[in-house]
Amino acid sequence: MKLLKKPPLRVLLFSLLALLAVAVTVTAQKQPQNVQVRIGSILASNQSDEFDARLKGLEKQLRVLKYRSYRLLKDESQSVPWQGNRVFEIPGGRSLMVAPQEFQDNRIGLKVRLTDGPKPLLDTTVRISNKGNFILGGPPHEGGVLVLSISAVTQ
Amino acid sequence: MNGCEDKIPSIERWLDGELSGAENDSLRSHVAVCAECSEAQRRLEKLQSTLKAALLSEAQRVDFAPFWRAVQLRVNEKRPWYQEALDSMRRALPAPRVAWVVPAVIVLLLAVVSLESYLPGWRGAGRNAFATVESIDAYGRNVALLREYDTKTTVIWLYQDQEGENEAAEETAPSGPAF
């Protein structure tokens, strides 16, 4: 242990340990295992003034759309591996395929495809912040429109 | 031997003039009464004088002129500017302080990386809150993109115009975007 009392050796050893710690942390940050994708299917309409209490957390975002009524039709979460994909069944016989692409700078890249049966309605690639969301809406449904809140969080 | 073996190194240092005043006096008194140490002193003095004589006789044969010329050349040699700059930097930043800069920077880097990992968004809540749409293909349908700054909301809105597909007529929803 006498060697450790020499300052240059202590510095070298400390530097190596610190570098190792940085490498482990960076590697751990860059490779989250899965992405938890959550799809909230909401019916927005002007037929009443009802606001579903389960949508409290999304109220400010939904009010942007200027509809009078919002009702949660379905809330589904699935764990999706990187470079994999999962299909979410959406009310009205539609489906939403979500494929996480990459994780960089605490943002998740998602490839999203909305289909109505065999007919594709929309293909988009979006980057959202980890634990963030975006809104996809517009398809007509039961006298209103369907609004999807698509959120993702790394696991 | 009378247990004076450990005195030999002291006698050597005494003869070389390396002892302090008190040590010098103490050893001198001891050697005066100790036959063994007195003999050792005599032996070492003889060895020293023999070596000195040999060195002096050999040194006369050595030509020191080329050596001193080389020394003078090195002293008068003009050093390159970068060498001067390096030297002044070394003088300004002594080695021990510079050595600790490397691990200090690494620790700082580790702290920044860890903060981003364990406290996502610490650099500012709204900095990256907006979703970024990199591509949209609505297969010929109308699509609108809205970014609302107060709530940091990104909305992709599909809509059909008045002459849209047949199914639009079956629905009572407004055809254009509502926002």
pLDDT in tens, B99-114: 777 778 888 888 877 7
If one counts the domains in chain B, the total is: 3
Cβ contact, residue pair B153, A137, below 8 Å: no
Chain B residues in contact with A44 by the CB 8 A cut-off are 178
pLDDT of residue A7: 59
Q: Say if residue A14 is in the same domain as residue A62.
A: no
Chain B residues in contact with A129 by the CB 8 A cut-off are 120-121, 128-131
Question: Does B49 score more than 80 pLDDT?
Answer: yes
Name the phi and psi angles at A19, rounded to 5: -60, -40
Cα–Cα distance, A109 to A132 (Å, whole number): 11
Q: Say if residue A112 is in the same domain as residue A69.
A: yes
Please give the single-letter amino acid code of residue A155.
Q
Cα–Cα distance, A120 to A22 (Å, whole number): 44
B71 belongs to a structural domain:
no
Query: A145, B171 in Cβ contact below 8 A?
Result: no
Chain B residues in contact with A70 by the CB 8 A cut-off are none
Residues 6+ apart with CB under 8 A from B82: none
Q: Say if residue A24 is in the same domain as residue A51.
A: no
What's the DSSP call for residue A51?
Answer: B
* Spatial CA neighbour of A122 closest among B4, B89, B22, B133: B133
Q: For the CA atoms of A15, A20, A24, A29, what is the dihedral angle to 10 degrees?
A: 30
- The ipTM estimated for the assembled molecules is 0.80
Q: Say if residue A105 is in the same domain as residue A47.
A: yes
Q: Say if residue A67 is in the same domain as residue A22.
A: no
* Containing structural domain, residue A57: 33-154
Residues 6+ apart with CB under 8 A from B96: A7
Question: Does B124 score more than 60 pLDDT?
Answer: no
> Which residue among B167, B170, B178 sits closest to A66, beta carbon to beta carbon?
B178
Cα-based angle B175, A53, A113 (whole degrees, multiple of 5)? 45
Locate the chain A residue with the closest alpha carbon to B99: A11
Residues of chain A with pLDDT under 70: 1-8, 25-31
Q: What mean pLDDT is predicted for residues B126-135? A: 76
Query: A46, A67 in Cβ contact below 8 A?
Result: yes
Helix (H, G, I), strand (E, B) or coil at A69: strand
pLDDT of residue B165: 45
Cβ contact, residue pair A105, B106, below 8 Å: no
pTM here is 0.55
Query: A32, A103 in Cβ contact below 8 A?
Result: yes
Cβ atoms within 10 Å, residue A80? 20
Chain B residues in contact with A114 by the CB 8 A cut-off are 158
Most confident of A86-100, B130-144, B145-159: A86-100
Cα–Cα distance, B161 to B144 (Å, whole number): 12
Q: Say if residue A38 is in the same domain as residue A23.
A: no
Cα–Cα distance, B140 to B136 (Å, whole number): 11
Q: Say if residue A26 is in the same domain as residue A73.
A: no
Longest dimension (CA), chain A: 82
B70 belongs to a structural domain:
no
Q: Say if residue A97 is in the same domain as residue A69.
A: yes
Most confident of A64-78, B59-73, B88-102: A64-78
Name the phi and psi angles at A128, rounded to 5: -120, 155
pLDDT of residue A42: 94
Q: Say if residue A76 is in the same domain as residue A120.
A: yes
Cβ contact, residue pair B153, A135, below 8 Å: yes
Cβ atoms within 10 Å, residue A17? 12
B50 belongs to a structural domain:
yes
Q: Say if residue B98 is in the same domain as residue B143.
A: no
Question: Does B155 score more than 70 pLDDT?
Answer: yes
B138 belongs to a structural domain:
yes
Q: Say if residue A16 is in the same domain as residue A67.
A: no
Q: Say if residue B89 is in the same domain as residue B55.
A: no
Locate the chain A residue with the closest alpha carbon to B118: A29
**Alpha helices in B16-132, H assignment, sequence order:** 21-33, 35-59, 65-76, 81-92, 95-118
Q: Looking at the complex, does the CB of residue A109 fall below 8 Å from at least one CB of chain B?
A: yes
B interface test, pick of A42, A45, A55, A61 with most B CB neighbours within 10 Å = A61
pLDDT band at B167; cut points 50, 70, 90 = very low
Write out the two tokens for A75.
Answer: 């809330």
Cα–Cα distance, B157 to B178 (Å, whole number): 9
pLDDT of residue A133: 92
pLDDT of residue B154: 92
Q: Looking at the complex, does the CB of residue B116 fall below 8 Å from at least one CB of chain A?
A: yes
Name the phi and psi angles at A17, rounded to 5: -65, -45
Q: Which helix (H) or strand (E) holds A27?
A: helix A7-30
If one counts the domains in chain A, the total is: 2
* Containing structural domain, residue B18: 5-61
> For residues B4 and A3, which has the higher predicted lDDT (pLDDT)?
B4
Cβ contact, residue pair A64, B106, below 8 Å: no
What's the DSSP call for residue A68?
Answer: S
Cβ atoms within 10 Å, residue B31? 21
